[in-house]
Amino acid sequence: MTELTGKVAIITGGGYGIGRQIARRYGAAGMRLLLAARSAGPLEEAVSELRAAGAQATCIKADVSKEADCESMVAAARKEFGRVDVLVNNAGIAGPTKDSVAMSLAEWREVIDINLTGAWLASRAVIPAMAAQGSGNILMISSGAGRRGYPLRSPYSTSKWGMIGLTQTLAGEWGAKGIRVNCICPGAVEGERIERVINARAAALGVPAEQVRKGFTSNAALQRMVTEEEVARVALFLVSDLSAGMSGQTLNVDAGSIMN
């Protein structure tokens, strides 16, 4: 994928988890990177790691739910690298685990604002530059929860469903300008985040955590969770020329989920 050498990518939520793994993949492909997140510590650690591996990388503290932060994020990438070729909308929060009646308006809004509105704001901020250069890739990181209802996680599921609709809409609006927009729906991903989700769900249901964990794996054809690396490989494919004919598409990376 030598065509990616020198391309510039912004990765939101890039200091940890899937975002950090995507940054590693993109850096190894020769891309120049700007990582953004609300927490400065993980960002700085990720940038140090990327630079040690030979990648060009920098970071900015940004809250994607804030319009001004998204504008500043794009401006910083253009100032540092001169252009933006890829935006990965990965920033997101899990939100509370409780039923819809127990959910407060503030809890609902926080999840929607970061997961969905943040993806729209970041995309809106970067599209003019991509349209002007006649090319670009926007990649949404949604979730298996964006494919089906998810009891006790209503704002999370709603926000992730919305990202799929946003993917298709932006693809239709901007394809004529050379901008491709695609989406990944990871299933349960091994790591600290899924363990927090499992423990919160087990507490809400009053069942052992192991029971919840087995539910994630038993409903997957491969009988396991996926890894951050497996998601990152697809994220690389979707911004490369190997997927040049794809836009408005959503790919599952979920170990073959067979949940109804």
Say yes or no to pLDDT of 1 above 70. no
Q: pTM of the entire structure?
A: 0.95
Average model confidence (pLDDT) across the chain: 96
Q: What are phi and psi of 187, to 5 degrees?
A: -85, -150
The pLDDT value recorded for residue 259 is 60
Segments of 125-258 assigned E as strands: 136-141, 179-186, 250-253
Q: Residues 207-226: what's their mean pLDDT?
A: 93
Closest by CA to 256, choosing from 185, 159, 165, is: 185
Residues in the chain: 260
Give the model's confidence band at 258: pLDDT under 50 very low, under 70 low, under 90 confident, else very high.
confident
Q: Residues 227-256: what's their mean pLDDT?
A: 97
Task: Read off the pLDDT of residues 117-142 as tens digits, 9 standing for 90 and up.
Answer: 999 999 999 999 999 999 999 999 99
The pLDDT value recorded for residue 135 is 98
The pLDDT value recorded for residue 219 is 87
Query: Which are the contacts of 243, defined by CB distance < 8 A and separation ≥ 6?
Result: 180, 182, 237
Pair of tokens at residue 207: 């069942």
Q: Residues 155-180: what's their mean pLDDT?
A: 98
Contact assessment for residue 189 and residue 226, using Cβ atoms and an 8 Å cutoff = yes
Q: Residues 219-241: what's their mean pLDDT?
A: 96
Task: Read off the pLDDT of residues 66-82 as tens digits, 9 standing for 90 and up.
Answer: 999 999 999 999 999 99
The pLDDT value recorded for residue 59 is 97
Looking at residue 240, the DSSP 8-state letter turns out to be S
Active site residues: 156
Task: Read off the pLDDT of residues 33-45 as tens digits, 9 standing for 90 and up.
Answer: 999 999 999 999 9
Contact assessment for residue 15 and residue 46, using Cβ atoms and an 8 Å cutoff = yes
Pair of tokens at residue 149: 């209802």
Q: Where are the domains of the chain?
A: 2-188+227-253
- Note the CATH number of domain 2-188+227-253: 3.40.50.720
Task: Read off the pLDDT of residues 94-120 as tens digits, 9 standing for 90 and up.
Answer: 999 999 999 999 999 999 999 999 999
Measured between alpha carbons, how far is 226 from 253 in angstroms, rounded to an integer? 7
Say yes or no to pLDDT of 260 above 60. no
Give the H or E element holding residue 9. Answer: strand 8-12
